[in-house]
Amino acid sequence: MPNYTATYTDLYQLSMAQVYFNENHHSQKAVFDYYFRKNPYQGGYTVFAGLETLLENLNDFQFSKEELDYLAGQHFEAKFLSYLKDFRFRGSIYSVLEGDVVFPNQPILRVEGSLLEAQLIETFLLNMLNFQSLIATKARRMRYIAPDGVLLDFGLRRAHGPGGYYASRAAFIGGFNGTSNVIAAKQFDIPVSGTMAHSFVQSYDDELQAFRDFAQNRPKNCVLLVDTYNTLKSGLPHAITVAKEMEERGEKLMGIRLDSGDLAYFAKECRKRLDEAGLSYVKIAVSNQLDEYVIKSLQEQEAPIDIYGVGTNLVVGKPDAALGGVYKLVAYNEEPRIKISENIAKITMPYSKQVYRLSLADGPWIGADAVALFDETEFDSIYHPFDQYKSMKIEHLEKEALLQPVMLNGERCHAPKSLQAIADYSAKRFAQLPLEYKRFSNAHHYKVGISKKLRDERDALIKQYKTI
């Protein structure tokens, strides 16, 4: 799969890098924060994903001779290109752990390195973290609403080209049980699953014969698609016949799949007839434009569904389809940096910072994180970033530092984590988030406050730039 070389970037990163190089700024120390301003899906949280992908590919983020030749043809200078020949990312990365729940306007990951290297990786970093976080969050919303359902990703055919590879990875982090995507399953060790297509049934003159052949060739995990011609008059009776024949061979039909029509109605009707036929063990799988709202509705109607196959809406993260994460310079040459904006929410937060998750002494999260200067140890209150009248005492609370070193001077700090370990951690963290942040409508606003020192330092910088 993709080889992420250093032209996996926007041209302006290279244009700026050449200026840095020529002006001899390129080795100055720079600090960038990755964060976003709005949770996707009008929700109350975001599941952070993509970190492992970023870390494992940074080593390949180099320029090949062919790439340098291309850049030479784009008017880059020989001296600069010769410097790029040996380019490697040798910076440091501090990050929230992959799978954790994160919130708007808090640093999720910080890059420290030379100005040139920290700038060059921006596009790749955003490309990977934004997308996977979008999809992991979508998956988590479905897992939340169907805690006992089997959730399967069937989306590769509607994914954004090879983006589907990472959609399957992110869906597993967000709580999905498996995927139909073979290459992703193989790479990331995700349980792989699937049923049959309409074309299989169509290729036979006779639906019953199609089911028989499938069951005989695939006695384990056999799921029959029953809606090619007529679900209740043809597909289901044929599936029951085959299930009975399987019983005679000492086998068990695993399930049937419904892919059209009113899924609640058909699931109930099929469940009833399966039960009447003594086939209460046969599971019911559904698919067809599912998302968290359709699944919620099916559950509210008490549709007896065991397995949800989710495609398009999962893998493209509809309706948002993008997470607007940004990567902003917060310090340069040991000095804090800020970007002013007419939109107050878009003013950046200067300095290297740490983020603390706040909880009561006996464990429960309180629904607020604190952002402070990185080396700030003592602070007993947090403040709303812009509303001077809002503050909260936090001296009695536990503070868990979220930004941990994951790469130091280009070397990873830990062995790669398995996807299963990341998914387990994600489930654990999500379980700690209070319910009011999980609902689909008007989710409670998780607070991200800042320390007094950070607020004061930032305000001084704003004043300084406002006088320009």
92 near its own copies, judged by CB under 8 A: no
39 near its own copies, judged by CB under 8 A: no
Residue nearer to its own copies on the CB measure, 297 or 333: 333
How far, in Å, are 80, 309, 327, 364 from residue 115 at the CA level?
Answer: 15, 45, 13, 40
198 near its own copies, judged by CB under 8 A: yes
The DSSP 8-state label assigned to residue 33 in this structure reads E
| Interaction mask 107-136, its own copies, x per CB under 8 A | --------x---x--xx--xxx-xxx----
218 near its own copies, judged by CB under 8 A: yes
319 near its own copies, judged by CB under 8 A: yes
- Tokens in use for 51? 């970190």
Count of residues that bind its own copies according to CB under 8 A: 105
CA dist., res. 373 & res. 363, Å (int): 25
Residue nearer to its own copies on the CB measure, 348 or 449: 348
Beta strands across the sheet bearing 150-153: 178-179, 150-153, 307-310, 283-286, 255-258, 223-225
338 near its own copies, judged by CB under 8 A: yes
Smallest gap from residue 51 Cβ to its own copies (A) = 14
Q: Give the residue among 149, 135, 180, 143 at the shortest CA–CA distance from 263.
A: 149
Please list every residue from 40 through 79 that binds its own copies, using CB under 8 A: 67, 70-71, 74-75
Owner of token pair 């790029």? 84
In angstroms, what is the C-alpha Rg of the chain?
Answer: 26
Among 37, 186, 244, 444, binds its own copies (CB under 8 A): 186
Among 37, 72, 88, 182, binds its own copies (CB under 8 A): 182
Q: Compute the residue count for the chain.
A: 468
Residue nearer to its own copies on the CB measure, 161 or 363: 161
Strand partners, 102: 46
233 near its own copies, judged by CB under 8 A: yes
H-assigned helices in 357-434: 419-432
How far, in Å, are 33, 170, 265, 363, 441 from residue 105 at the CA level?
Answer: 10, 22, 44, 24, 21
Residue nearer to its own copies on the CB measure, 7 or 391: 7
Among 47, 102, 159, 307, binds its own copies (CB under 8 A): 159
322 near its own copies, judged by CB under 8 A: yes
213 near its own copies, judged by CB under 8 A: yes
How many CB atoms lie under 10 A from the CB of residue 432?
13
Smallest gap from residue 278 Cβ to its own copies (A) = 25
431 near its own copies, judged by CB under 8 A: no
CA dist., res. 25 & res. 168, Å (int): 41
**Distance in angstroms between the alpha carbons of the first and the last residue of the chain:** 49
180 near its own copies, judged by CB under 8 A: yes
Residue nearer to its own copies on the CB measure, 139 or 329: 329
Residue nearer to its own copies on the CB measure, 350 or 449: 350
Among 42, 82, 202, 409, binds its own copies (CB under 8 A): 202
Three-class SS state of 409:
coil
